[in-house]
Amino acid sequence: MNMNKKDRVNRVVLIGAGLVGSSYAFALINQAVTEELVIIDLDKEKAIGDAMDLNHGKAFSPSSTNTWYGDYSDCGDADIVCICAGANQKPGETRLDLVEKNMKIFKTIVGEVMDHKFDGIFLIATNPVDILTHATQVFSGLPKERVIGSGTTLDTARFRYMLSDYFNVATQNVHAYIIGEHGDTELPVWSHATIGGVPVSKYLETNEAYQREDLHHLFEDVRDAAYQIIQKKGATHYGIAMSLVRITKAILGNENSILTVSTHLNGEYGAHDVYVGVPTIVNRRGVEKVLEMELSDTEQQQFHHSVKTLKETMNPALEKLSL
């Protein structure tokens, strides 16, 4: 039965209930972000168990999120389909091997979603996220502004946290971005990093306790954080899940928030036909606008290198699938 506009509620469909997906579901419910949450997974029993477990905590959540195990037919009325499904890299596999494997998985998933007339926004979390976000747009045919990847939102959050810890100020008062590939070629935009509105470069000049060389090591810790966490606990999932919830809130709340999501560039920053993490205004339409910061020469070169690396990995995989 069709609902009246006044009865319309937000629906998020999660595809892939592994560590990242289940953490995303848990955070969505605890932050009361959506009225409906549908969980889809190849492991039906696990997904049903997740839905049961989450529903049992409704008495303690901020609002009652209607949660159930579903199927692709539930995507037709969804506002957001968040894909966390995919294969993990195995020993001996190259990054390109992982790309090709996950592209095939995504072609099937996205095809199933679109077969049910999905007309919302795709939110992609699976790695390599920039490449799989691009592939999702190609597979779905949806407007580019309605296909978004988690991009460098988590990297940026890590960056802000580590800067706040180093300078001993609240994270909310640190404004700084990581842009580029969500991976080894990402880069910090030091030229626009501020502490309470004061440029980091100026902050260093007026505080002898802080050293410029420390910042290089700080960025390396940001870039390599996932490797460190995986070594210690086997996987990263809480941070990325919270990043996905933040993006979901920005979309459903029509916030016009600025987040470093993976978005399609068509000339911005000198890049063409590539999805990559840059500061972006996000609202109910998906991507409203890409914010084009003025980068330093070094930052621009690093960004171009990051884009080049993405394309060199992505294009052969796309060609192999005859797209």
pLDDT tens, position by position, 143-175: 999 999 999 999 999 999 999 999 999 999 999
Q: Which residues of 48-63 are buried (b: 16+ CB within 10 A; e: fewer)?
A: eebbeebbeeeeebee
Q: What is the H or E stretch that residue 263 is in?
A: strand 262-266
pLDDT at 89: 66
The band of 227, judged by pLDDT with boundaries at 50, 70 and 90, is confident
- What architecture is the 8-149 domain classified under in CATH? 3-Layer(aba) Sandwich (3.40)
Of the candidates 42, 25, 13, the residue with the CA atom closest to the CA atom of residue 118 = 13
The domain 153-320 is placed in CATH, from the list 3.40.605.10, 3.90.110.10, 2.40.50.140, 3.40.50.720, at 3.90.110.10
Q: How far is it, in rounded angstroms, from Cα 189 to Cα 186? A: 10
Q: Which residues contact 184 (CB under 8 A, 6 or more apart)?
A: 223
Rounded to two decimals, the pTM is: 0.94
CA-to-CA distance for 146 and 130, rounded, in angstroms?
14
pLDDT digits (tens, 9 = 90+) for 101-122: 899 999 999 999 999 999 999 9
Give me the catalytic one of 182, 192, 237, 264. Answer: 182
Task: Render pLDDT for 230-261 as a digit per residue (tens, 0 to 9).
Answer: 889 988 899 999 999 999 999 999 999 999 99
In the chain, CATH 3.90.110.10 covers: 153-320
pLDDT at position 11: 98
> What is the gyration radius of the CA atoms in the chain, in angstroms?
20
Please determine, for residue 93, whether its predicted confidence score (pLDDT) is greater than 70. no
Numbered ranges of CATH 3.40.50.720 in the chain: 8-149
Averaged pLDDT of the chain? 93
Q: What is the pLDDT of residue 92?
A: 62
Active site residue 264: no
